[in-house]
Amino acid sequence: MSRVLHPSLNDVVLLLLLISFPLTCLGIHYFPSTGETETYLGSNILSKITKAPDKRNGVGCSHATIHIAMAINIEYLRGITAAVHFVLRHASCPENIFFHFIAA
C-alpha cells in the first residue's frame, strides 16, 4: 500500500514551532525609559539596569579556550544565568571562555 503524503497535525505544529522559535529569541529587547515605565515599590525598574563594564583578558592569558557545557532547564534558568555571570565576572581570562548550552 502506498502512503499518501498528507501532513499530520503534529507535523504542522512542529513546523510552526520551528519557524517561530527564532522570533521568540529576537523578542528580548531593552526599551529605554519614556517616563511612563512601571514602578516597583516607588522606584523605577529600568533605572536600576546598567551596562556592565567590558571584561578583557589579563596580561598573562594564553590563547587556549575553556569550554563549559551547561544543560538548560526552564526550572533552573535563573541559577544558570547566575552561574554564567559568576564565571565571567571572576575569570581572569573571560574572553577565552566558551559556553555550550544544551537544551534539556
How far, in Å, CA of 100 to CA of 64, rounded? 16
Average pLDDT score over the chain: 71
* Rounded average pLDDT over 9-30: 60
pLDDT category at 24 given cuts 50, 70, 90 is very low
97 neighbors 68 (Cβ within 8 angstroms): yes
Check residue 18 and report its DSSP letter.
H
pTM for the structure as a whole: 0.47
What pLDDT does residue 17 have?
A: 67
Q: Is the pLDDT of residue 27 over 50?
A: no
What are 28-37's pLDDT values in tens digits?
444 444 555 4
User: How many CB atoms neighbour CB 44 within 10 A?
Assistant: 13
Please report, for the chain, the start and end positions of each structural domain, with discontinuous segments joined by +: 9-103
93 neighbors 61 (Cβ within 8 angstroms): yes
Location of C-alpha cell 516607588: 42
How far, in Å, CA of 36 to CA of 45, rounded? 11
What are 50-91's pLDDT values in tens digits?
666 667 777 788 888 889 998 888 888 899 999 998 998 888
The amino acid present at 33, given as its one-letter code, is: S
